Structure 1
Amino acid sequence: MVRNAPTTLALGACVLLASACKTDDPPDEDTYTFAEDDPASYTRVDRIGMPAIGTAVIINKEDYNQADPAADAAGQFVDQITMSVEGLHAALDDDLSGLGLTPCVAADCVNQAAPLVVPDTIKLDLNSPTGFPNGRALTDPVIDVTLAVVLLDLTIDGQDATSLVGALNPTANDLPFETAFPYLAPAHTL
């Protein structure tokens, strides 16, 4: 997320969270207006190419959010990531074993996850099939796959990056996605 002025931030929030900003009236084609400012005029306030990395394993979030992904590749945040992954394993390895899964050694998990999460960007190869980790569809089990790569020993037969799909998170939304932009289902109302 980036910002340069409150109106742009509010507009960006409305576009990103269009279902929350949506009225009961069907949108017309001119509902959404996108800023065309020079990218240099914006200030990065959050990065989330890979969900849960900046949120769950980075300790100094302000430094991380201000850093470029090149800093990830240079190893600037490896110590924080390693410490957090060790903490996750200390808290969750017994639960994973109880589910019949084999956790990896924290240092091995960091090495195993590095190609997926470093740098913290959305990767897209137009010559490869789409779907996480090559891009991200709304229906992709991104968190389950990321957690499996960070927590499980993927060298064990029968255990792979999809071993947690459905074990931790729902496998589908309670409402179907829309077929037109913004694609998200309408927000629940109380």
Structure 2
Amino acid sequence: MPDDSWISISGTVEAVSPNAFTLDYGDATVIVEMDDNDRDADGYKLVTGDRVTVDGMIDDDFFEATSIEASSVFVENIGTYFFANPVDDETTRVQRTFAPVTYPIIEGATSIQGTVTAIDREDETFQISTGTRLITVAVDEMTNNPLDDEGYQQLETGDEVVATGTLDDRFFEGRVFIADYVTTMANRQ
């Protein structure tokens, strides 16, 4: 099964190397890989202190090595996106980017996009498959809970969603993401 869940993480560049940088998202750091020869940033190099938003796929490396291969990086101080090669050299996945970034970038702000594979209405959680792993999204703290019996938004298995919240240690330790908002991109009815 192919990886199909996307993530967008905002934070501050902590360290830079030729093919990667360390992103501080508030609670901890994640290594962001983006080869210089793959991106269109010939005129700009990231520097420590840049505030950025990174878009990429969730794969095994994301949890095992706390690293992500970026498909795009938005740099706040120049208001510009830099994109990796549209077809990744390690796999044949097509690049995809979230909606435009809003100012200011908020450290730790994260969005995860994927298909709902399971719902537990009693625990107020649902799962998104990353191809080989599952991510649990908790919605019990949301004002408009998409798993209760009230309101317009009612999630079902198969819906494509974007869950937005703040990245913290629970995500890497237990693959649990606490959502502030959930947007339904497509219903599978």
TM-score normalised by the shorter chain: which range applies? under 0.3
Higher fraction of strand: 2
TM-score by length of 1: 0.25
TM-score by length of 2: 0.25
Higher fraction of helix: 1
Larger Rg, first or second structure (1 or 2): 1
